[in-house]
Amino acid sequence: MDEFWPARRQKDESNDILARMEERLRKNRNHRIALERKQKSLKLRRKKQLELNKKKQYEGKYLKTAKDLLKKYSGTIHKFLEIAERKVSVIDDYGDECWEELPREINNCLKKIAFKEKVRFWIEDGNFCWSSKRFPFLEKELALLFRSYHKKQAKNFSGKNSVNVGIMTGVEFETHIAKVLREKGYDVVGTPATGDQGADLIAKINGKIIVIQAKRYLGTVGNKAVQEVVGALNYYGGTEGWVITNSLFTPSAKALAQKNSIKLIDGITLKNSVFL
């Protein structure tokens, strides 16, 4: 019995040593695995950061050139904003603005700039593709620019009492007239920006088709505007013709309008909206 216990203790001590060694190996193995995972994670993060920096550098380069194009063709961009505002502001049968017109006008603007810059483009799966890497960035900038412009227009020209038509462009004036008419229940659509055949807006209500020429003038409006509406009446099948201005009409324009049953709405009448 005395011989058994020392052997048993020796065996237990050996087992304890082996267990401690195994535990140490297990910890070392876990530590190595954790270290490898950490190193792998750091490597992946560095790779992603490098890719992100490269992407930012790439985007920054072409974004700068896109913004340079915005400055270079500021006149074309301003025209785009006016045309897009006019088309987007049209209210559809569901009472919503026509935002589907924006991509089309952006592409029209891009094509104008591409032609001047001698940049090739083609349509692939219904989308425009450009030979210049600047143009996708220019497309995004135009969209952001228009949304800011549209928001500003809505803020500046909302509410009859806050409107100052004197600071509007011709297209902005047309858009304002369209909004005023829609608020009164008219169904209003704009005519093409070019080749409008003498009319800027077509308004419909209670079976009437009203052909409208909108004139934002500094001076008085003469015969030409009346003549254009008279010609547009037949072209658009109108039942009434209106000429709306922020200014006044010459006596000859009033006489010609009376002869042809054309309604003249001057700045004072427009301000009070008594013509509706």
Per-residue pLDDT, 160:
46
Better-predicted residue by pLDDT, 10 or 39: 39
Query: Is the predicted pLDDT of residue 5 greater than 60, yes or no?
Result: no
Q: How far apart are CA 212 and CA 20, in angstroms?
A: 96
Q: Give 263's pLDDT tier (boundaries 50, 70, 90).
A: very high
Per-residue pLDDT, 92:
67
CA dihedral (249, 252, 255, 259) positive or negative: negative
Per-residue pLDDT, 179:
81
H or E stretch covering 121:
strand 121-124
Better-predicted residue by pLDDT, 4 or 66: 66
Better-predicted residue by pLDDT, 25 or 255: 255
* Mean pLDDT across the chain: 81
Give Cα separations from 162 to 86, 159, 176, 190, 256 (angstroms).
Answer: 20, 6, 12, 24, 33
Cβ atoms of 174 and 214 closer than 8 Å: yes
Per-residue pLDDT, 227:
93
Query: Is the predicted pLDDT of residue 210 greater than 90, yes or no?
Result: yes
Neighbours of 11 (CB within 10 A): 10
Query: Is the predicted pLDDT of residue 273 greater than 80, yes or no?
Result: no
Query: Is the predicted pLDDT of residue 1 greater than 70, yes or no?
Result: no
Per-residue pLDDT, 193:
58
With tokens 């088709």, the residue in question is 209
pLDDT tens per residue, range 159-180: 544 466 766 777 778 888 888 8
CA dihedral (5, 7, 8, 12) positive or negative: positive
pTM over 0.85? The answer is: no
4-13, 37-46, 206-215, range with the lowest pLDDT: 4-13
Better-predicted residue by pLDDT, 55 or 242: 242
